[in-house]
Structure 1
Amino acid sequence: MKKLLLICLLIISASSFCYADKVAIDHFVVKENPFATDEIAFVAVDTAGTIQEKVNGIFSFTINGFTETLTFDKGTAFYRHKIEKSSFVYARHQNDEGTHSVLYYIYRHDSKLSPVKISWILLLAIPIVLILIGYLFKRLIIIAIIAFCIFLYFNHSNGLSIPTFFQSIIDGLKGAF
Structure 2
Amino acid sequence: MKKILLILCLVFVSANFAMADGPAMAINHFVVKENPFAKNEVAIVATDTLGNIQENVSGVFTFTMNGFEEALNFDKGTAFYRHKINKSTFLYAKHQNDSGSHGILYYIYKHDEKLSPFHISWILLLAIPCGLFLLAYMFKRFIIVAIIIFGIFMYFNYHNGLSIPTFFESIIDGLKNIF
Tell me whether the two structures share a fold, i.e. TM-score over 0.5: yes
Alpha-carbon distance, 1:13 to partner: 7.0
Counterpart CA distance in 1 for 2:87 and 2:13 is: 58
Would you say how many aligned residue pairs link Structure 1 and Structure 2? 170
1:17 aligns with 2:17: yes
1:44 aligns with 2:51: no
Matching of residues 27-38 of structure 1 within 5 Å: 27-38=29-40
Counterpart CA distance in 1 for 2:16 and 2:171 is: 43
Q: 1:54 aligns with which of 42, 53, 56?
A: 56
Residue 8 of structure 2 corresponds to none
> Which structure 2 residue ranges, 5 or more long, are not aligned?
1-10
Residue 167 of structure 2 corresponds to 165
Residue 90 of structure 1 corresponds to 92
Percentage of identical aligned residues: 66
- Which amino acid letter does the alignment assign opposite residue 160 of structure 1? L
Residue 175 of structure 1 corresponds to 177
1:110 aligns with 2:109: no
- Which amino acid letter does the alignment assign opposite residue 67 of structure 1? E
TM-score by length of 2: 0.91
Alpha-carbon distance, 1:140 to partner: 1.1
Counterpart CA distance in 1 for 2:13 and 2:33 is: 45
Alpha-carbon distance, 1:15 to partner: 2.9
Residue 131 of structure 1 corresponds to 133
Alpha-carbon distance, 1:14 to partner: 5.9
Residue 140 of structure 1 corresponds to 142
Change (3 A) 1:82 1:12: same
RMSD over aligned Cα, in angstroms?
Answer: 1.7
TM-score by length of 1: 0.92
